[in-house]
Structure 1
Amino acid sequence: MFDVDGRRFLDLNCNFTTLIHGHAFAPVVEALTHQLQRGSCFANPTESEIELAELLCERIPQVHRIRFVNTGTEAVLFAIKAARAFTGRSKIAKLEGAYHGAYDWAEVSLAAMPDDWGDPDAPSSTGVYRGMPASVLDDVVVLRFNDVESVRRLLLLHAQKLAAVILDPMPSRGGLIAPTPEFIAAVQDVARSSGILLIADEVLNLRQSFRGASVRYGLVPDLVTMGKIIGGGLPIGAIGGREDVMKMFDASAGQPLLPQGGTFSANPLSMTAGLVAMRHLDHAAFAHLEMLGNIVREGIGQTISNRGVPLCVTGAASLFRIHPMAQMPSDYREAYPGLAGVTLMKQLTRFFAESGIILPYGTAASISTQMACADAEFIIHVFTGFLDKYEDMLDAVDVCA
């Protein structure tokens, strides 16, 4: 990526993990150029819409039917509405610190802080913006990631009113931490026995494998929300899942139980770009991404170990995140940085930018298929240079820890 001053950067933001093939991916550019000559949007279905739907239904387990929207936020909000329509219940449960877009109920406790996040065994529902209705907070049960006992207890306590549990298999803003098998099992067991639908939010984490992130962690959802990589760099979102749940959107017999539409939903530009991008994400592409991700995480981890500095790295597949703490966090609260840690991470982002790498602050860094081993080694080299320059700041983090 080049800025207006002509400076060259290796982009690890990739529009917040969206650009899995990097910028201006030639096959997508070519396909979009052709589609623009044929029309940019219609009030009718198109062939590319059907083909992308077929690809996703064939590839992603539990996605038997699918509907396209314009953003990940829309995908999440319609998944929650579908769960409410299907169960007749209103409450949802979500993870503390997990980001699911800009829908009121999905935003609860997104930015919980030590002074308001409450009891570790029963987290408080906290607002994310001024004026968030108290009724919204009352309708959301907040869970701690990887806390098996409290999650089981809270889900059972509220089971009769819960429509859904929405779960990001590896929450980016929550720390990019892997779920434990016991945590996944506990959530699924209570959900199944209590008639609570399980929504896997894979808007970001679908890029973890050819079949998505849920398969990687043993999660079997009722609904899956998708976005980012399935649009090839254009706006997109999608809701997929069990056929009986997706029937809430069915208008073939008249008024659906859950109306859903959008002027630009399933527009042919997003469908065309997404179809081409996803076709190029074959098994070989994912193996390449996995290999590069392993090189980066292992290289950074080994450098941390060799230096004995109070940092750690989390992530999986083509994603990684560096934390200002020596102990690997297991949930959002443990990943929450102190003041010295925040200062250090901001300096890390600045140092990377000065060295020619765009490293996102406070969320996942992502690798694209266009990167090579040399790029992975460059990332490790710059990280090592940061440790050389900011040893004093690392000492301050160690003291605070």
Structure 2
Amino acid sequence: MSLAVYASDPSKTRGRKYPESAAPTRTEYQRDRDRIVHSTAFRRLVYKTQVFLNHEGDLFRTRLTHSLEVAQLGRSIARTLCLNEDMVEAIALAHDLGHTPFGHAGQDALNECMQAAGGFEHNLQSLRVVDVLEQRYPAFNGLNLCFETRAGILKHCSRANALLLEAQEHRYVDSGGGVAARFLTRTQPSLEAQLCNLADAIAYNAHDMDDGVRSGLLTVDQLSEVPVFKRFHQQVLASHPHLAKASEARRLLYEVIRCMLSAQVYDVIETTKNRLLTAQPRSSEEVGALPPLVAFSEAMSREAGEMKSFLFAKLYRHTNVVNQMTLAKQVIRDLFAAYTGSPQEMLKKEGDTLVAEEGRDAAHVGNGDPRAVADYIAGMTDRFALKEHERMTGQKLFSA
């Protein structure tokens, strides 16, 4: 498939921090995707919470399955718009690499613990994972991804953090700034990054409806209070009346969600095509100076927002979820305090030598540096965090 003139062309990448020879059989963004898939942080996503804790059920989404769903949606839309599918996939698969165990509750707790040391934000941590924390190559830390992939991973960033990042982006000073420059100049990311941001939101709403009903915390009747769900629910029953049987409840829900997903995908494609036709960008570089181009229509944006608000009130703030996340926050706070006080607990013995996780500098970890503690905790899976918490405190807060 040929790329549109406004797509990200791998032959025109602004390069990697550490120059490398081109791969003989892969484009630069394909290479980025492959490095992400083979990373340790990516494998850990399978045991990291999306909404429901890992031990609560085998069929609930995890950070890994969420990332795969975002990648699938993103690639489908990118193909139709003639954007770079490989870059979309790379960004989608990497966007949650820095997420803590226990989802947003874990992030909130770790951010509280890190207030005196610059705070903690999972999206910024995702960039830190691919830039620094993965240690797989002999000549550099991180995965040494292309500039455009790194910029796409950085979905949002405060001005203070953007300034700190730009101070480290020496290689890109003379070519328009580093990966955080757009947060200072108020310009837009690539169309591929814009698409990943929207695919993330689409995936969230769809799979959280499914998981909410599967968990028993939401009912179809409750979901029908939301106009967009009610409309598709009625359409599906009109086309397939046999799904009204109680025995077909699961199939009915799947079909409603499938129809909603399809409608949202086609809405993004149509709206984006119209915006591109109006803006007429002649290159990927011109995209940055334009308003956001990958978007829902106003009507679909409103409906998606209504569903998001509903899920926030009825699912994410459900008493059962809040109670679980309250305990999860305690796990993070207790671990942070324990490792800060006894940093040697983050080291393991290999032969006669104490080494840090993933080969990180043992001296840096061993002095109790708060950022090193945050890196260690953020890299944990749910079940490893619970295991370590029980080992360090003697408490078992969750019954598996």
TM-score by length of structure 1 reads 0.26
Q: Which has the higher contact order (CA 8 A, sep 6+)?
A: 1
Greater helix share, structure number: 2
Greater strand share, structure number: 1
